[in-house]
Structure 1
Amino acid sequence: MPSQRSVPSSPRLEGRAILVTGSTRGIGRAIAERAALEGALVVVTGRDASAGEMVVSSIEATGGRALFHPADVTRADEVEALVAAAADAGSVLRGLVVNAASVELGNGDGPVTEIELADWERMMTANLTSVFLTLKFGLRAMVDAKGGGSVVLIGSLAATRGLVGMDGYTTAKGGMAALNRSVATYYSRYRIRCNYVSLGLVDSGTERAVRAMQSSEFRRANAAWQLGRIGRPEEVATVAAHLLSDESSFMNGAQVPLDGGAFAASHKPQPSVGDLPGISREAWDEVDGEVGVG
């Protein structure tokens, strides 16, 4: 359940409007609630209106301010309308948290030779085009407001370390990390910073994530890294609030690891992923000497 805390006496985001995509549940919800606790007027968004209104009610119950505007962040017209609502919310739009994403393991993602074109395009739309659209309209609104501000991209360790059998997802997250650097470089002239949070495994609260993390195979594979546990949405929210605030005023273009030490580890165990159809690894190993592998 969300934390029921009071608004801090010296909130760091007072007088700012903060838009958080994918904020009807999980990590996005935690960030929205934390930003509200820090004094921001938070614009909550997602495709589930009832869930969005529940987040708004939760924020208002602790003395915070929020509004919900529905949007599918893969649709340009809906993102444009969302940003317009955020810009007209009553406070200057000073913060943008790009959190909405989709993990496709077992649902179209896999080794690159096995991904269908339609699945690839769907993954890029959900995980990279959505980022482009949010930044396209969100950054322009922030520039027009002439107040400067901060963009926080909620990304993944997949941007810098390969994930077995998730070539589509890693490509999208790598593109997101590269875009972070370019946005940070150009929009700094408008006093807008952009930083990327590189997440390890975090309990997003979704049914799929819960099932995966409860499996014995998953627990064995990840017991030796990430401090022996997975992350919590509230821990992501703490870092996001810092990046949104003036306390991080000299951070720009950074890729901030929030992974319990997974990136620092020399090896990250992976859950088993099957071989390519008709080509077993054992059979391939038998010809290593003939083809000069290594």
Structure 2
Amino acid sequence: MTQNNALLTGKVVFITGASRGIGAAAARLFAAEGASVVLAARSREPLDLLVKEIRTAGGVADAVTMDLADRASIRAAVDRVEELHGRLDGAFNNGATIQHPGPLDTTSDEDVDVQFAVNFRAHWVAMTAEAALMRRGGAGAIVNTSSIGSRRANPALPAYAAMKRALNSLTETAAVTWAPQGIRVNGITPGGTATEMIDAWEAATPGVVDRITASTPLGRMAEPREVAEVAAWLLSDRASMVTGAIVPVDGGAGA
């Protein structure tokens, strides 16, 4: 399964939001690129199926259930990585939740609370736990999934975009703070990507996919693997001088 010039050979990589979409694509890709992957999400069944698929193809994979809204659950998942492998080389903090689409003045307090807990605080908790484990090995790399919506006004998803913009700031701060310890931290900002999250948005607001496609210079939605490819490179030693970057993966939509 592993290629001779694989990006992630010998690395232990933790992936959140791994049961579907970009996270599942990353699990398959990172394993194919030589990583031992530990997959985390709330739902155990899709994780187990993915682990079986990767192992059948000759890869190394394990699963752990984790709730991004639960700080103890996140820390326990990172502890499980240590139990399995004794170290952590890379982390792809990809898990997220969409808000109920609607304008700023109709976004509920409850929606804001969920967005804060899952799309911002969870990354803070995960990153600090991941970095603590990485320090024991002397180095590591973290990639956070943000959104094109973090780079500009987002009237349809105001709370989601606000938390993702805060995540960009946190990513940059962590990169500067942890660079002396050999830990690189970067973010990616996908544009329209063919995932279940976009499907849910389309169901709530018909026409979203057409509008996203029309506003993308490359003229199409991204496939989840295309986003995962960028994360794989950022986690690899080939990106050894890249930290504090927020990398667009949006087909030119943010240009």
Select 1:194's aligned residue among 182, 185, 193.
185
CA offset at residue 29 of structure 1? Answer: 0.7
Q: Of 17, 33, 42, which residue of structure 2 is paired with 1:47?
A: 42
Selected match of 1:112 from 104, 110, 114: 104
Conserved in 2, the CA contact under 8 Å of 1:15 and 1:91?
Answer: no
CA deviation after TM superposition for structure 1 residue 220, in Å: 4.7
Counterpart in 2 of 1:121? 113
Are 1:176 and 2:167 matched, yes or no?
Answer: yes
Partner of 2:140: 149
Query: Would you say the 8 A contact 2:186–2:244 is kept in 1?
Result: yes
Q: 3-state DSSP class of the match of 1:88?
A: helix
Contact 2:38/2:63 (8 A) holds in 1: yes
**CA positional deviation for 1:142:** 1.1
Seq. identity, %: 29
**AA at the equivalent of 2:99:** E
Larger Rg: 1
SS at structure 2 position matched to 1:227: coil
Give TM-score scaled by structure 2 length. Answer: 0.93
Is residue 166 of structure 2 the alignment partner of residue 137 of structure 1? Answer: no
Tell me the distance in 1 between the aligned counterparts of 2:225 and 2:54.
15
Greater relative contact order (CA < 8 Å, ≥ 6 in sequence): 2
Which digits, 9 at most, give the CA deviation of each residue in 1:35-88, with x for residues without a partner? Answer: 111111100111111111011011112111000011112212111110011122
Partner of 2:95: 100
Structure number with the higher helix fraction is 2
Question: Is the contact between residue 146 and residue 190 of structure 1 (CA under 8 Å) also seen in structure 2?
Answer: no
Contact 1:153 1:195 in 2 (8 A): yes
The Cα of 1:167 is off from its aligned counterpart by: 1.2
Asked whether the 8 Å contact 1:74–1:133 carries over to 2, the reply is no
Residues 158-198 of structure 1, C-alpha deviations (whole Å, 9 max, x = no match): 11111122210111000000001100000001100001101
- CA distance in structure 1 between the partners assigned to 2:117 and 2:217 by the alignment: 30
Mean CA deviation greater in 169-178 or 84-93:
84-93
1:223 equivalent in structure 2: 214
Q: Does structure 1 residue 24 correspond to structure 2 residue 19? A: yes
Instruction: Give SS of 1:195's match.
Output: strand
Per-residue deviation at 1:118? 2.2
Change (3 A) 1:199 1:15: same
Taking structure 1 as the reference length, the TM-score comes to 0.81
1:32-71 equivalences under 5 Å are 32-71=27-66
Aligned to 1:246: 237
Equivalent residue pairs, number:
255
Does structure 2 retain, via aligned residues, the 8 Å contact 1:41–1:91?
A: no
Q: What amino acid maps onto 1:29 in structure 2?
A: A
Q: Report the counterpart of residue 237 of structure 1 in structure 2.
A: 228
Helix, strand or coil at the partner of 2:193? coil
Q: Aligned pair 1:163/2:154, yes or no? A: yes
Q: Distance in 2 between matches of 1:221 and 1:158?
A: 12
Whether the 8 Å contact between 2:215 and 2:253 is mirrored in structure 1 is no
Partner amino acid for 1:20? I
Task: Give the distance between the partners of 2:22 and 2:29, measured in 1 at CA.
Answer: 11
Shift of 1:215: 4.4
| Displacement after TM superposition at 1:104 (Å) | 1.2
**RMSD of equivalent CA atoms:** 2.0
Contact 1:16 1:91 in 2 (8 A): no
Unaligned runs of 5+ in 1: 1-5, 265-294
For structure 2, list consecutive stretches of 5 or more residues without a partner in the other structure: none
Structure-2 change in CA distance of 1:76 and 1:94 (3 Å): same
The amino acid across from 1:134 in the alignment is A
Q: 1:220 to 1:197 in 2, by over 3 A?
A: closer
Residue of structure 1 equivalent to 2:81:
86
